[in-house]
């Protein structure tokens, strides 16, 4: 009897630990479900209050006039706008997102995927949030199709009588978007301004959901949790509020980046390289990941490089057919943007900490040099055998930290890389940067940001 007496005690200990784990999982599931519900509630209140037509703070395109078609179907909910309330709703979304990430082990895929789809539907039905860029897409398309003007050589003032003009936030800027995106946007013109807006809203949601699906497949292929990858991107407030809510073409860009990652990580390096080049046709920033992908291909790098060169040649030919000698005009516009200074870019913040009211050339140059050093080191480490996805992620973060022209929705460029690797430091840095991106558009944070405290 003495020889066997410890066995029941051991069994009771194992059972107790099992019950503790079950209780912990149940607690995580309960908290996580509450976080999903809270995020959806805050998102619905935010989008519906923006549709109330009571303020243009959330919908800057409505300056001077706020037509019902711009408010969208959520106007019927009758949710009032509150200057403080909407900021609390953004903060609430961020807190619920963080809690959902922390409680992920207790959440099932059905609840999570339903929340992701529901959140995308909410922000797709709301008005364009915190940016007028979506009307810029429509305007550049109308310049080309209706007014027969090249959007790479003419700004919006060239057609100031166009009905889209009064919804624009920028009137002096030429198109900084890639030739493929510009030509594709021409198809929106027959839909008119209203049809073009809501088509772009629907497309932003569709591309964002496509990114979730692609990251799910890629995560499964590399042995990562597909659910974690889906939540990291699909419930991120920056993705929902700016990407889908603002209908930015960055959702198309990150969908192509996610597709390139999936293709490369499953051994289809050449197809991945082609997909990156297609992304450059949407926005030039996609090109940053190409050298890392080519180095990651190792023995298949030559085939991937050949595919990239061939697809780039086709893209150039398409641009020449569409825009002639001005086919590279978007690069000129991008250079012009880099001469601007976003109030809350990191270089501008550092400049204020140093006591300068504006960004000094020396500070700007220091950040450019630092970024160049990061690129060189990251490429060298990748060539030496380091993980190319992680290196591309850190380099993308370095780009965002060094550019003087930082807009909050750029933060979503980081997320595909972060979702597919177990680099805790990169994940933490990406989430902190997303939090910073949200703060840059919240009025209550502006005093601290403008003083250089944050």
Longest dimension (CA), the chain: 97
Residue 61 in domain: yes
Same domain, 147 and 122: no
Which of 112, 127, 142 is where one domain is finished?
Answer: 127
Same domain membership, residue 122 and residue 142: no
pLDDT at 118: 98
Q: d(Cα 79, Cα 51) in Å, to the nearest integer? A: 8
Q: Are residues 96 and 132 in the same domain?
A: no
291 and 407 part of one domain: yes
If asked whether residues 271 and 383 sit together in one domain, one would say yes
Note whether residue 13 is domain-resident.
no
pLDDT, residue 454, reads 57
Q: How far apart are CA 350 and CA 254, in angstroms?
A: 29
Q: Is residue 346 part of a domain?
A: yes
Please tell me the predicted confidence (pLDDT) of residue 12. Answer: 58
Torsional sign, CA 17, 23, 29, 32: negative
Domain end point (choices 127, 142, 175): 127
- Cα dist from 343 to 340, 357, 436, 452, whole Å: 10, 11, 13, 11
What is the Cβ-side half-sphere exposure of residue 255, based on CA atoms within 13 angstroms? 18
Residue 164 lies in a domain: yes
Are residues 175 and 91 both part of a single domain?
no
Using alpha carbons only, what angle is made at residue 83 by residues 80 and 89, rounded to the nearest 5 degrees? 75
The confidence score (pLDDT) of residue 18 equals 52
205 and 348 both lie in a single domain: yes
**pLDDT (tens place) for every residue of the chain, 454 residues total:** 444 455 455 555 555 555 556 656 677 878 999 999 999 999 999 999 999 988 888 999 998 789 999 999 999 898 999 989 999 999 999 999 999 999 998 898 999 999 999 999 999 999 999 999 999 999 999 999 999 999 999 999 999 999 999 999 888 889 999 999 999 999 999 999 999 999 999 999 999 999 999 999 999 999 999 999 999 999 999 999 999 999 999 999 999 999 999 999 999 999 999 999 999 999 999 999 999 999 999 999 999 999 999 999 999 999 999 998 888 888 888 888 878 888 899 999 998 888 887 888 899 999 999 999 999 999 999 999 999 999 999 999 999 999 999 999 999 999 999 999 989 999 999 999 999 999 999 999 888 777 655 5
Q: Give the count of domains, the chain.
A: 2
Question: Is 90 found in the same domain as 214?
Answer: no
pLDDT of residue 334: 84
Same domain, 287 and 144: yes
Helical (H) or strand (E) element with 272: helix 269-282
Instruction: Give CA–CA dist 164/300, Å, rounded.
Output: 48
Q: Considering 64, 92, 127, which residue would you say is the last residue of a domain? A: 127
Cα 122 → chain centroid? 17
Write out the residue range of the structural domain in which residue 44 sits: 20-127
31 and 134 assigned to the same domain: no
Residue 199 lies in a domain: yes
**179 with 329: CB under 8 angstroms?**
no
CA distance 12 to 17: 9
């Amino acid at each position: 009897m003495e020889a066997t007496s410890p066995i029941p005690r051991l069994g009771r200990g194992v059972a107790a630990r099992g019950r503790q784990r079950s209780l912990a999982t149940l607690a995580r599931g309960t908290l996580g479900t509450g976080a999903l519900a809270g995020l959806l509630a805050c998102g619905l209140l935010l989008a519906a209050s923006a549709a109330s037509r009571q303020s243009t703070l959330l919908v800057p395109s409505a300056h001077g006039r706020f037509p019902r078609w711009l408010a969208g179907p959520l106007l019927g909910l009758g949710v009032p706008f509150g200057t403080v309330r909407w900021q609390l709703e953004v903060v609430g979304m961020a807190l619920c997102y963080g809690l959902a990430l922390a409680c992920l082990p207790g959440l099932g895929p059905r609840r999570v995927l339903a929340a992701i789809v529901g959140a995308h539907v909410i922000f797709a039905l709301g008005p364009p949030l915190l940016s007028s860029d979506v009307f810029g897409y429509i305007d550049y398309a109308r310049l080309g199709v209706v007014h027969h003007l090249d959007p790479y050589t003419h700004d919006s003032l060239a057609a100031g009588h166009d009905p889209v003009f009064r919804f624009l936030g920028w009137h002096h800027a030429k198109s900084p978007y890639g030739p493929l995106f510009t030509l594709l946007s021409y198809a929106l013109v027959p839909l008119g301004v209203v049809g073009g807006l809501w088509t772009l809203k629907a497309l932003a949601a569709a591309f964002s959901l496509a990114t979730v699906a692609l990251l799910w497949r890629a995560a499964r292929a590399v042995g990562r949790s597909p659910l974690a990858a889906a939540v990291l991107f699909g419930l991120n407030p920056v993705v929902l509020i700016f990407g889908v809510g603002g209908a930015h073409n960055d959702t198309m860009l990150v969908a192509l980046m996610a597709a390139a990652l999936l293709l490369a990580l499953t051994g289809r390096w050449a197809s991945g390289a082609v997909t990156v080049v297609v992304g450059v046709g949407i926005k030039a920033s996609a090109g940053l990941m190409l050298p890392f992908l080519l180095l990651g291909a190792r023995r298949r790098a030559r085939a991937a490089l050949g595919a990239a060169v061939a697809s780039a040649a086709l893209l150039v030919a398409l641009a020449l057919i569409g825009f002639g000698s001005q086919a590279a005009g978007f690069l000129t516009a991008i250079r012009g943007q880099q001469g601007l200074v976003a109030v809350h870019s990191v270089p501008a913040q550092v400049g204020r900490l140093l006591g300068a009211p504006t960004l000094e050339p020396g500070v700007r140059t220091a950040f450019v040099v630092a970024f160049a050093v990061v690129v060189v080191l990251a490429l060298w480490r990748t060539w030496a055998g380091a993980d190319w996805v992680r290196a591309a992620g850190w380099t993308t973060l370095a780009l965002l930290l060094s550019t003087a022209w930082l807009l909050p929705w750029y933060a979503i460029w980081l997320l595909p890389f972060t979702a597919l690797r177990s680099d805790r430091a990169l994940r933490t840095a990406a989430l902190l940067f997303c939090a910073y991106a949200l703060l840059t558009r919240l009025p209550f944070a502006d005093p601290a940001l403008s003083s250089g405290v944050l």
